[in-house]
Chain A
């Protein structure tokens, strides 16, 4: 008994001493990051990562087989980015074709299947749309109520020639507010995207289109583009090796040609290159800077990068004639894409960029004295002529390069849609439309020949007359502030008869014309979503939280958007800033990506980590910051 008491007393003493020590020596556990409480983001571009979830949902609905022809599943805007579209899903016992009528107009015939996923395009906004399905003699009408779009700048139809009609839409691209929109011949909005995808749009034989994705863009040079339909459903997401800006073309073999740079987005040299449509891999590349320097090693190097403003190209495959518009040079160049050689240069012979004697071998002489000035939208017509939207603005000597900024200085300038026949370096102006020289669009603009033989012209940034007449108006201010500009879109036949004319109070970079439906089409395949990331993988350093103290990291107060290819922030990154991105796992392993050194530029990258969650830290000039963001790979 005495022994038991002794033991108990010793135990009590030990407990008391331990508790006392614990109270005095209270140590807070170190916790560098709260994964549970942080904001989680997918490393894949949100616009793409959202699609997988929606695809799975729609597939699941179609697989359920609980919806019938007369009691179908109907969802407006299923991909959340195209508010005037919908999907109708139902099942039948056997394969059936379905005719689709939208607001009493025949839209398309959907090919036979028993698992029906019908895309509905071109709904009217703020309207109780009627979608009538006809199948095997039976009819069913579904009502789809849409909301008002609140699109900031409508398209106002000013003129339609009597008897002129089209079911196609006039699509417009604007980088100010409305981005990509589609309007019918009455000026009614029939399509728009609520995401910032732009600049060029290229339609594919299957009715889908290619469009650039603005995430991570700089000066409208983009890192990626998508193949998309009017529902906003993405089929293919491409991150090509050399980025993309301003122009695509679908080649006869189905592959794509695009304009880009020596590296994506932060361009020092302009390139035109082709990629495989199934893999996104680069097949061939033409480097404009290399060709120019091989001809003239003393060519002004400052004009070989962004300053060139390479805003369009067109490749005539049959003639191997690649024409490229370099607005910053006031020049259109023709290349042999196969041989990577220069054919000719179409620019004013006084152009100082081509002052060296060597250029005499290449310069095209215009019989009419008309030359490209700040031009856009080059193309080759079916009969082999060169078409371009001639802004009539000397961009090389404009206000951007310390030239005159006053609008009054340009009072006699005008823009036009020009077609030249160029043979043996002689250019003859064979067609021009200039709206009686009444419009001056110093920037933007497009010109294309349509399948029906008419021309579609976009005078994209006209100065309003009252502004042009004013003494103090400035072009630079007009460029920043759209209050004093408007766009005019015309469809004109080759005899210069205006068939259609519309106006927008917003600058329109380009206009297109295309149909929503083909006469027959397949059901939607919602399972398709391919990702083609063709950037070289970025190298990462490894460390851990024992070697790098994360506990004292400050709060990153700026915005930050991260995808595996792009990092954007509203912190004003300076040329001499050094930035590393830290990806930290829950068990303290750290992967470090050197985004930028003090003597290097920003970049598009390809950070590839194993599946999992990573807390994102930013090291800016030796100070470490915590973003409170978790990136999910």
Chain B
């Protein structure tokens, strides 16, 4: 009798165990897809809060205070005033209407990140399974319309681990751009470049190719941050129609450079290319703080 009871208990335990695994496995796919899409949506929302919430103007004015280095480290400020425009490049125009420009190719990545929130991730075409991974396919046209891009291949792969297929990470493929997302961070890889974004309760941490590292703080009334490139620190603060940008450390003949930016609608004349390009404090500072953030496409 006792033998039968024990055998019965044994069978029941094993039955419960395998039935559970079977049921969990079947509902797992739906759970993982929903969980993953929620995770992406929450990150998109957070990125939009920091990157996209300000209607950062494409034109405006910049007042530059260039702090010359004194003999014993003192600051001797000199003032410069420019109009600026962000279009295909970043243009600065001085009071004589001559201008200079800075290439800003890598800023385009952030404009894409800021638009992620607008994607409805439930508008997928298909869900399939590859071994233990779930593949969610999207219509490339839909993606491109929202992000302003030209991707051909657009799909999301949800990776799991262990025999219970616990959620591991999400890998989003947009042609050569691969975005890996887990509960902790977002990693974007493209042509040998890597952007790492780690959301936290104050905003997020960002690293580009381990050359740039930054902390972005998202506050109620402003967004601010420090970006460290090499051994130099660049600080910014955006609120409403204004921004402050500061190059904090010594470079060239300056202790630091502070810029007050005001966004407004205006048109640059760009009458002639500046003859004193190298003397401009922004260029002079950046030319010594030389860095290459982004590996070009081969």
Contacts and interface: CB of A to CB of B under 8 A. Distances in A.
Contacts of A469: none
Given A16-B13, A400-B74, A570 B68 contact: no
Interface in B134-186: 162-164, 166
Contact of B76 (A5, A10, A399, A444): A399
B13 A479 contact: no
A164 interface: no
A570 B70 contact: no
B164 A555 contact: no
Interface stretch (A17-25, A82-90, A358-366, A493-501): A17-25
Interface string A298-316: 0000000000010000000
Contacts of B269: none
A108 B3 CA distance: 103
Interface stretch (B80-88, B113-121, B247-255): B247-255
Nearest to B217: A623
Interface in B41-84: 68-74, 76, 78
A9 B10 contact: yes
Given A13-B10, A309-B72, A479-B68, A570 B213 contact: no
Contact of B70 (A5, A12, A400, A623): A400
B17 interface: yes
A443 interface: yes
Contacts of B246: 572
A399 B76 CA distance: 9
Interface in A430-460: 443-444
Nearest to B161: A26
B237 to A, nearest CB: 12
B248 A572 contact: yes
Contacts, number: 92
B174 to A, nearest CB: 27
Given A13-B10, A443-B71, A479-B76, A623 B202 contact: yes
A219 B69 CA distance: 11
Contacts of A16: 13-14, 17
Nearest to B250: A570
Interface string A618-632: 000001000000000
Interface string A1-45: 010011001101100110010011010000000000000000000
Contacts of B162: 23, 26
Contacts of A23: 162-164
Contacts of B17: 16, 20
Nearest to A573: B248
B68 A476 contact: yes
Given A16-B13, A557-B214, A480 B74 contact: no
Nearest to A460: B71
A132 to B, nearest CB: 44
Interface in B261-290: none
Contacts of B166: 26
Interface string B229-257: 00111010000000000101100011010
B73 A219 contact: yes
A2 B5 CA distance: 13
Nearest to B213: A557
B205 interface: yes
Contact of A555 (B2, B9, B213): B213
Interface residues of A, number: 39
A219 B13 contact: no
Interface in B218-237: 226, 228, 231-233, 235
Contacts of A443: 71
A551 interface: no
B200 A570 contact: no
Main secondary structure of the interface of B (DSSP, over half): mixed
A66 interface: no
A220 B233 contact: no
B76 A558 contact: no
Interface string B72-111: 1110101000000000000000000000000000000000
Contacts of A399: 76
A159 interface: no
A570 B74 contact: no
A570 B232 contact: yes
A17 B76 contact: no
A405 B232 CA distance: 29
B215 interface: yes
A295 interface: no
Contact of A13 (B13, B74, B163, B200): B13
B125 interface: no
A554 interface: yes
Contacts of B73: 218-220
B6 interface: yes
Interface string A216-228: 0011100000000
Nearest to B233: A570
A17 B248 CA distance: 59
Contacts of B226: 557-558, 571
Interface string A309-329: 100000000000000000000
The 5 residue pairs across chains A and B that have the minimum distance between CB atoms: A480-B253, A557-B213, A480-B68, A572-B248, A476-B76
Interface of A: 2, 5-6, 9-10, 12-13, 16-17, 20, 23-24, 26, 175, 218-220, 309, 399-400, 443-444, 461, 476-477, 479-481, 507, 552, 554-555, 557-559, 570-572, 623
29 contacts: A2-B3, A6-B3, A13-B13, A23-B162, A23-B163, A24-B164, A26-B166, A219-B72, A219-B74, A400-B70, A444-B71, A461-B71, A476-B78, A477-B68, A477-B253, A479-B76, A480-B76, A481-B253, A507-B71, A555-B213, A557-B213, A557-B215, A557-B226, A557-B228, A558-B226, A559-B231, A570-B249, A571-B233, A572-B249
